[in-house]
Amino acid sequence: MRLHICAIGRIRTGPERELLDDYIARFDRTGRALALGPINEHEIDERKATGMAEQGRLIAQRLPLDAPIVMLDERGKTISSRDFSRSLQELRDRGTPDLAFVIGGADGICADLRARADMLLSLGPMVWPHRLVRVMLCEQLYRAATILAGGPYHRD
């Protein structure tokens, strides 16, 4: 199952990029044996997409056809890492070819795009910068893969 992260904002260099690349590489190594991955990033330059409606339109263009959509939103559902890994496993086992994660910009995600979400997922009640949300999502994807692989990374 291919994973797609569709996000407003670009991460070119710096500590967030290094962390992101590290977790993506870890996920790809671990997930490959589990039929998970690769992770594909689809970045929308926030300078070219002003306003939530335009950002929503550009994100929608990058979503894989018929892929379930998980939107990162502070008002979404909070779940444990184990439950997150089970969700990935269930989608994979059903033969889902693609899964898309959406990370909006500073003003959030437009209502039209939010309405298309199969799940609203929160990383907690605090609001996080979109660059950190992307890093935290990739860490959780790697954690989920290690849980499914029975590795020692995740500890209860």
pLDDT tens digits for 6-28?
999 999 999 999 999 999 999 99
CA distance 103 to 70: 9
Mean predicted confidence (pLDDT) in 33-52 = 91
Which residue matches tokens 């997150």? 84
Domain-embedded: residue 98:
yes
For the chain, what is the domain count?
1
The domain that contains 27 carries what CATH number?
3.40.1280.10
CA distance 5 to 43: 8
56 — pLDDT class (breaks 50, 70, 90): very high
Return the closest-CA partner of residue 7 out of 140, 131, 138.
131
Residue 31 belongs to domain spanning: 2-149
The alpha carbon of residue 61 and the mean position of all alpha carbons in its chain are separated, in whole angstroms, by 16
Q: Calculate the alpha carbon distances from 78 to 1, 13, 72, 118, 123 in Å.
A: 23, 30, 10, 15, 6
Q: What percent of the chain has pLDDT over 70?
A: 100
Q: Is the peptide bond before 38 cis (omega within 30 degrees of 0)?
A: yes
Domain-embedded: residue 70:
yes
Domain-embedded: residue 6:
yes
Q: Return the pLDDT at 30.
A: 97
132 — pLDDT class (breaks 50, 70, 90): very high
Mean predicted confidence (pLDDT) in 74-94 = 96
Domain-embedded: residue 105:
yes
Higher-confidence residue of 89 and 51: namely 89
Q: Return the pLDDT at 108.
A: 87
Domain-embedded: residue 154:
no
Q: Return the pLDDT at 130.
A: 86
Mean predicted confidence (pLDDT) in 143-156 = 92
Domain-embedded: residue 155:
no
Domain-embedded: residue 41:
yes
Contact yes or no for 143/109 (Cβ under 8 A): no
Q: Return the pLDDT at 3.
A: 98
CA distance 79 to 66: 24
Domain-embedded: residue 156:
no
